[in-house]
Amino acid sequence: MRPGRWILPAKLIDGTAIGRVMRAELTAEIQALKARRVIPGLAVVLVGEHPASKVYVRMKGKACDEAGLYHETITLPKETTEAELLALIERLNVDHKIHGILVQLPLPQQIDTQRVLHRLDPAKDVDGFHPENVGKVSIGEPTGFRPATPYGVQQLLLRSGVETTGRHAVVVGRSNIVGRPMAALLLQDAPGGNATVTVCHSRTRDIGSMTRSADILIVAIGKPEFVTGDMIKPGAVVIDVGVNRVDDPSTKRGYRLVGDVKFAEAQAVASAITPVPGGVGPMTITMLLYNTVQAARQWAHP
């Protein structure tokens, strides 16, 4: 798909359908590993009762079951100390049944998140947050684990036929989880890369002038419907990473989910766009499975 030539309204980029295809593609490798008595294993650690985190953890467990991966969910009380969590990490680091470890964020205030993430064995850091993996991803080293959300965005672009080479990609948001690794992936000399990348953030002046120059606009700023239609270049491809709850008394739940992009306005301008939900979200879980299988493969072939 070439930004700038489109038929309105924008094509929907279906993360659920693409994720389903990609999970099916993993089957052969999982079976090959099992034939060697290696069952890819994922441990998910949840501290406290954060509602959204509980939903994500449950979805990850279901995805592992469907793919045939071994998984453990370890739930700890919100009063858990940093020392107790670090001791658990050390145990999982040496557990041969576990090839990938994911610590669900956010953590309670009494725990230093960076200290916990840095304690993970980099070879099991399937979230890609350990400094060793951050460095590997930055230089394009294939043994590094790409954070699941930007990895999923890159796959959405590739599998939707969106050309990134030579295009201007604007990333709105500079978090270590999405924005920064997204920029690194788009810059790499590889499929889904070779873009010219601009990163916008809370200190960027006149963000609208930046977003209107984007052939590919990736929004991960955590503000409901922040990007409006007049901030989008006609024909651009828009990837909405945000998931936000906004009050809506007209719904049974009393709220609705929206992205960081005002969808109806963006759909009238863009050539392709991800919906919320059903866009980036399913791909995040899919790429976590890919990273877990990669971890098992690298463990089996050191």
CA distance 160 to 238: 12
Query: Is 252 tagged catalytic?
Result: no
Question: Which entry of 11, 31, 78, 104 is annotated as an active-site residue?
Answer: 104
| Catalytic residue (one of 125, 127, 240, 260) | 127
Q: Tally the C-alpha atoms within 13 A of residue 127's C-alpha that lie toward its C-beta.
A: 20
Handedness of CA 268, 232, 228, 158 (dihedral sign): positive
Beta-bridged to residue 238, according to DSSP, are 217, 273
Terminal C-alpha separation, the chain: 39
> Cα separations (Å) of 121 from 86, 94, 124, 132, 206?
12, 9, 5, 10, 41
For residue 223, give the amino acid letter. K
Please give, one letter per residue, the 3-state secondary structure of 205-224. CCHHHHHCCCCEEEECCCCC
Q: Active site residue: 60, 124, 233, 262, which one?
A: 60
**Token digits of residue 282:** 């399913």
Alpha-carbon distance 195 to 189, whole Å?
9
Amino acid identity of 222? Answer: G
Active-site annotation holds for 127: yes
The set of catalytic residues is 60, 104, 127
